[in-house]
Amino acid sequence: MHATMVLRNAARTPLIRFLGKRSVPKSIDHTPRAHPASPTGVLPDSFAAYRSKAQQHGPLGRASFSQGIGRASGASLGPIQPKQGEFFDRTELPSRFHRLPWTEAEIEAIETGGASLFA
């Protein structure tokens, strides 16, 4: 006898058991509320009001565009210097933080998927 026929004919019983009858709530409140962890605890008046105050890699509102950002070239905005203790590139860090060069054995191990380590 085939195993699939045995499985098909067997009565399936679920492994989870629910207590009581399934019930759907009679009334569900769908009114918008502020998130419990919200810093202000209030909803914004409108999406436009939210967007004018929101920050995502810089201001999202139209006020930032009126100041000329995005309309002028980057060079006209002036030089950009990192603050004290900040670096733009890893090569500007002390040598102990530089990337180590790859050895021939590491390159060979990567190219062979690690098989060269056991051969």
Q: Encode the chain (119 residues) as per-residue pLDDT tens digits.
A: 567 776 777 777 888 888 888 888 888 888 989 999 988 888 888 888 777 777 666 655 555 445 555 677 777 777 788 888 888 888 899 999 999 999 999 999 999 998 887 87
Rounded to whole angstroms, the Cα distance separating 52 from 49 reads 5
For the residues of the chain, what is the DSSP string, one character each? --HHHHHHHSPP--S----S-----S---------TT-SS-S--S-HHHHHHH-BSSSB-STHHHHTTTTTS-TGGG----PPTT--SSGGGS-GGGSPPPPPHHHHHHHHTTTGGGT-
Identify whether the C-beta of residue 52 lies closer than 8 Å to the C-beta of residue 61.
yes
